[in-house]
Amino acid sequence: MQDKEINEAKMAVKGFVDAFFAERPSNLEKANYYMQHVHKHAIADPLPTGRVINNRHIDYISPSFWHACCAVIYRWVYTRMMSNSQDGGVLVYRGQANPYPILPSIRRGTLPDTGIDYTKEMTQVLKHFLLEADGVTNLFFETLDQRNGLKVMAQHHHFPTDFLDFTFNPLVALYFASKDSRKAQIVDNPLSGHGVIFESAFENFQFLTKKTSIKLDLSFLPPIHVPRIYQQQGFLLDCQAATNEEISEIELACERVFFPREYPGIQDIEDVFSENLMVTYLCNNYNGWHSEASIWSEREWYAAHDGYKEIISIYMDYIKNVGVGYQQKEALTIIRDAEIELKAPPKINSGLEYHFNNNTVTRAWSLIQDLSRVIKFVKDISFNRQQDRLVLNELVLTSYAKANPGIFKAINELAKKVSILEFESVPSELLGNEKIERFIKDSLSNELMYEIESVPPMGYDYQ
C-alpha cells in the first residue's frame, strides 16, 4: 500500500471525525462529503487464515490503521444512520494495540496468586474512602455502595478485575487500538505486529448471557465518580463466574479487523487520535450539567476523584510486596498514612456556591443534572435512523431501564417537574419517549421527593 493512499485514508477519517464529532453541532453536510471518501477507503479484506461461520468470514485485515478506521466508521454510520432498517442494530466495539485473546485483567497474572480474592478485598478498601469522600445519599444510583458498583470504580482506575470493557463508540475503540502498546508483541503469531478492533452487535452479548455465566453489567454510577465511563460510552461484561472457555465465546461473538501498526506507538496519529482531541470529540461542553459548575469534569479525560487512582496504586504495590502476608487492616493503614486528598469539584464561583447552598429546589435540580447525564448517554448509544427519523433502540433502552430501575423511575417522575426546576437542557424528546413510559410505570413517593430536596448536590464538598 502506497503512502499516498494511506494518507488519503487518514484525511478522510480526519475530515469526517472533525465534522461529525468535533464541531458543535455536527456539520452533517461536511460529514456526508467526507463519508464518501471514508467509504472509498473502507478496505477490510477477509483474512485468509481467519474464522468462517456459516460460510461467512468474520475476520478481516486492512492494509493500514487508517483503512481500518474507514472500514469501522463506515459500518457504524451505515448501521446507525443510513440503513433505514426496521430493526436497526446497535454495534459495540473493543480496541487493542495487540491481538491478544480477550481476557479479563485479573486473569492475566498481574497480581500474585495467593488464593486471596483481591477484587473483593479491593472493593472493601475502596468503600472506606468512597463513603468518606462522598457524604451524599445516592438515592438513584443504588449500586455505588455494593460490590459490583465498587468493582466498576476499581476497573475505572485500572485495578485488575474480572470485567471486560466494551464501548458503543467506534472512536473509543480506534483510540485504544492506536495507543502506545505497554505489552510485548506476541511471539510466534502470524498476526504479530498488528492491532485489532473487535465489533459485535449488542444483541449478541444479550444472547451470550443466556447461554454462559457471563453477565452484562449496565449499572450506572454517579457520573461525578466515573465520568470516563460516560465519556467513553462504555459498558462492562462481568466474567467473575465464567470459565475461560466461556470467555472465549465473547471473541466468537465478534468480528475482528486487524491492521499492521508500528510499536510501541503509531506515527502521525496525534492530529486525529491524541488524548486532547478525544476530549473534544467525546466531552461535549454543553449538556445536561450546568456549564460553569461542571466544566471541570467535562473537559478532562481522567477527571473526578483522581485520588482513587493513587489509592489503588498504593494498594496494588502493597499486594505485590507482601503476597501471602496480606492483611486488609495493614493495607488501609498504609493508604491512610499516604494522606491522599479526595476532592469532588474544585471550588465553584461564589455566585454558584450561594445558589447551591441556599436553594433546596436547586439541590433537587443538581440531582437531575446527574440524571440528565444518564439520559444523554442512553440517547447517544441507542439511536438509529429508521425511515428518515431517529428512534431509540428498544433492546438497548430496555436493558438499561431494567438494570437501573431507580434511575429511570426518577427520570420519569422528575421530567414532569422540568419547568418548575427551570432545567431546559434535559432532552425533552427522550424524556417524553413512549418507550420509557412503557417500562416505567411507578412514580416517586412524596416522601422520596422530600428526601431529594434535602440532599446536597451530588459530590459537592461544602467544606
Report the alpha-carbon distance of residue 288 to residue 224 in Å, rounded: 13
Q: Select the more confidently predicted residue: 90 or 1.
A: 90
Q: Select the more confidently predicted residue: 1 or 59.
A: 59
Query: Which pairing describes strands 52-53 and 91-96: parallel, antiparallel, or unpaired?
Result: unpaired
CA angle 409, 384, 37 (to 5 degrees): 145
pLDDT tens, position by position, 106-165: 888 888 888 888 888 888 888 777 655 444 445 566 666 567 778 888 887 788 999 999
pTM of the model as a whole? 0.82
Phi, psi at 425, each rounded to 5°? -85, -10
For residue 406, is pLDDT > 80?
Answer: no
Q: How far is CA 124 from CA 147, 148, 271, 330, 397, in A?
A: 8, 11, 42, 13, 32
pLDDT tens, position by position, 246-277: 999 999 999 999 999 988 888 899 999 988 88
The grid cell for 295 is 466544566
Coil, strand or helix: which one is 120?
helix
Query: Which pairing describes strands 234-238 and 255-260: parallel, antiparallel, or unpaired?
Result: unpaired
Q: Select the more confidently predicted residue: 427 or 163.
A: 163
The grid cell for 249 is 465465546
Query: Which pairing describes strands 234-238 and 215-217: parallel, antiparallel, or unpaired?
Result: antiparallel
For residue 454, is pLDDT > 70?
Answer: no
- Go through 130-145 and write b for each residue having 16 or more CB atoms within 10 A of its CB, e for each that does not: beebbebebbbbbbbe
Report the alpha-carbon distance of residue 420 to residue 78 in Å, rounded: 40
The grid cell for 119 is 477484587
Check the CA dihedral 444-234-125-459 and report its sign. negative
